[in-house]
Amino acid sequence: MIPRDTVDKIIETARVEEVIGEFITLKKRGANLLGLCPFHGEKTPSFTVSPVKGIYKCFGCGKAGNSVNFIMEHLNLTYPEALKWLANKYSIEVIEKEITPEEKEQLNERESLLIVMQFAARYFVQNMLETDEGRSIGLGYFTERGLRPDIIQKFQIGYSLEERRAFSNAAIKAEYLPKYLVKTGMSILSNTHVEGNEILASEIFDRYAGRVMFPIQDEGGRVVAFGGRTLSSDKKVAKYINSPETDIYHKSKVLYGLSLGKKAIQKNNVCYLVEGYMDVIAMHQAGIENVVASSGTSLTIEQIKAVHRFTNNIVVLYDGDEAGQKASERAIPLLLEEGMNVKLLLFPDNHDPDSYSRLVTAEEFANYLTDNAQDFLIFKARKLSAETKNDPIKKATVIKDLVSSISLIPDAIIRSVYVKECANIMEIEEQILQVEVNKLRRKSGDKQKRTEDETQVTTELSEVLEKKEDKEEIQLIRFEEKELLRLMMNYGNIVILIEGEDDDKVQHSVEMTVDEFIIFELYRDEIEFEDPIHQMILDEFKHEIEQGRLPLLSYFIQHENPAISGFAINNAQINYNLSEKWSKFGVFITDEKNEVKKSSEHFLFSLKDKKLNSFILNLKEDLKVLSHEEIIKTQESIMKLEQNKKRINKLLGRIIIK
């Protein structure tokens, strides 16, 4: 468990704009910052960060939180894991008790898998640097390719020994459970294992043997998978083996090099997209860090969105061979469709980024990247024009291919610019090209509309079926409860003067904080909130006050319970920013802080009035089934409740009119 003072230090240090700025490019917009939301696909920024309030909120999908919530949500971490991640970022020491083997087994499964992967990364590095086999084969291979020691260390490159149980035996000796070795994909079950039984150490062997190992990190820098390259010349042996899909590794979402390159991508406002691990590593050695690879898979929409959060500009550096061309043909349409500005860069003599970087100096390599990146659509138009110069039929065919690419661009202005440029290159009337682009856009739009219509029908049916449940949920949401909690969060420490009387009916004035007054009134009348989250927050207030503390908004915004912090962020903020110019027209807004006593009384009495209404209605329902004697008693109870209701209504009227 992390000590409370350490938690407070982490939260105080971790500025929300700095933390989120590691994962999203944020631009200044007034007092706030704006960027593309990482939680849902969007092309127009709606994700807002408030440095003053220490929170973020997306007005597209509704996600909101603080720096800890963001790390939890974005990196799929628990609350303690997110705190440790932030502590590591800001070099804050977290002292916890030593984990025993028994406690290690009790850790949640996801954390256990991540711990196994950390061990694996260290183990493979140690193999390469400290064993004869690792030094001669693994380290020798990278030294021969000219990799510097600092680059090898930067990417945690390692080596798996030829012995097929070396890793599994070492992990078990370090007290890691066989089931977690299998679930990470680092070990494989043998045929001797009986399904349903506990996995034994003797029943597993290593996935990787005799390979150099490239750790694959998620965006937060945690090792979640590996790519293993064989150094054997045997063509029957697969050149690369990559980790399978696991609970911590989803190939379609992870980009190799993003965790190390995201700051450079933001700074340079461009990302280089390459094919392989060595391409990324070679470019880092050449001083180019704003580079990613798709981890041995075809580029996906999720991976593109991950880059898009940092920049709109991408340069495709795929190899010039047939496989590289096919990869670019698959990737570029997706990039255009996601609104990326796409450039293409080809290396001479079928070189790839790795081989070409070793052929020239770092300065020459950087200059080549800058000087030879060409806008993809312009490059394509020129290439097609040159190939079809004396063949009208073929030219008509390739124009359709060009139109197909242009039509993918979501921004109408950018599309029109490309239509004009490409029409000039292809020597065709601009209007004809525009008509063809519009046709494809309409066809695509019709298809999307049909899908949306089908979704709408499904949604409407669901709404009809859930109508009864929705009504029941709405009844649980009490406006008064929400407003009372909002007042407590924002002004709970303000002292107000409360009029009361003692047992002898002598009037007294008592000083109380807003928190104490509201809690006293609620608990005196044994009122509990109907919404369970509201009641949870009220109990939190009560507990803190009993401990001699008056918790305010910042306490709840930074709360480890996401339900509590979510309520604070979404409902406890005050957004009354009426311009001063309205005073010229006689419109004056009273500062809510000065009216907090009146507001507290109003919402308390209003809540009590609704509670009484509910009690009275329930008792009147009971009259239908009660005996004569019970009816008389119940009617007396109803009369008393009605009298209390009149008294409360009188107080409500006085407060509202005054």
Q: 492 and 514 in contact (C-beta within 8 Å)?
A: yes
User: Taking the domain 376-443, which CATH number applies?
Assistant: 1.20.50.20
What does DSSP assign to residue 125?
Answer: H
Structure tokens at 306: 């991950």
Closest to 121 in 3D by CA, of 256, 214, 208: 214
The DSSP string of 315-370 is EE---SSHHHHHHHHHHHHHHHHTT-EEEE---GGG--HHHHHHHS-HHHHHHHHH
Closest to 352 in 3D by CA, of 281, 292, 275: 275
Single-letter amino acid, residue 199? I
pLDDT at 323: 66
Task: Identify the residue whose tokens are 């440095």.
Answer: 51
Q: Measured between alpha carbons, how far apart are the two ends of the chain, in Å?
A: 52
pLDDT at 445: 65
Strand partners, 508: 500
pLDDT at 471: 47
pLDDT at 490: 87
**d(C-alpha 346, C-alpha 156), whole Å:** 29
**d(C-alpha 55, C-alpha 11), whole Å:** 12
Domain limits, the chain: 4-89, 101-249, 376-443, 478-657
Q: 232 and 210 in contact (C-beta within 8 Å)?
A: yes
Q: Options 3.30.70.260, 3.90.980.10, 3.40.50.620, 1.10.10.10; which CATH number does 101-249 get?
A: 3.90.980.10
pLDDT at 395: 85
With 0-12 CB in 10 A as exposed, 13-18 as middle and 19+ as buried, what is 610?
Answer: middle
| pLDDT per 10-residue tile (average), the chain, 658 residues | 77 87 86 86 83 82 85 85 88 71 63 92 96 95 94 96 95 93 94 84 93 93 94 88 92 92 91 93 95 83 88 85 71 90 88 90 93 91 86 86 90 90 89 89 64 45 42 55 88 82 65 86 80 85 83 82 81 50 49 80 82 69 66 68 60 40
**d(C-alpha 423, C-alpha 409), whole Å:** 16
Task: Identify the residue whose tokens are 């002598």.
Answer: 506
Domains 4-89 and 101-249 are alike in CATH topology: no
**d(C-alpha 121, C-alpha 218), whole Å:** 14
**d(C-alpha 521, C-alpha 531), whole Å:** 18
Structure tokens at 529: 């909130």
- Give the SS3 label for residue 49: strand
User: Taking the domain 4-89, which CATH number applies?
Assistant: 3.90.580.10
What residues contact 398, with CB distance under 8 A and at least 6 apart? 384, 387, 388
Closest to 307 in 3D by CA, of 373, 258, 347, 363: 258
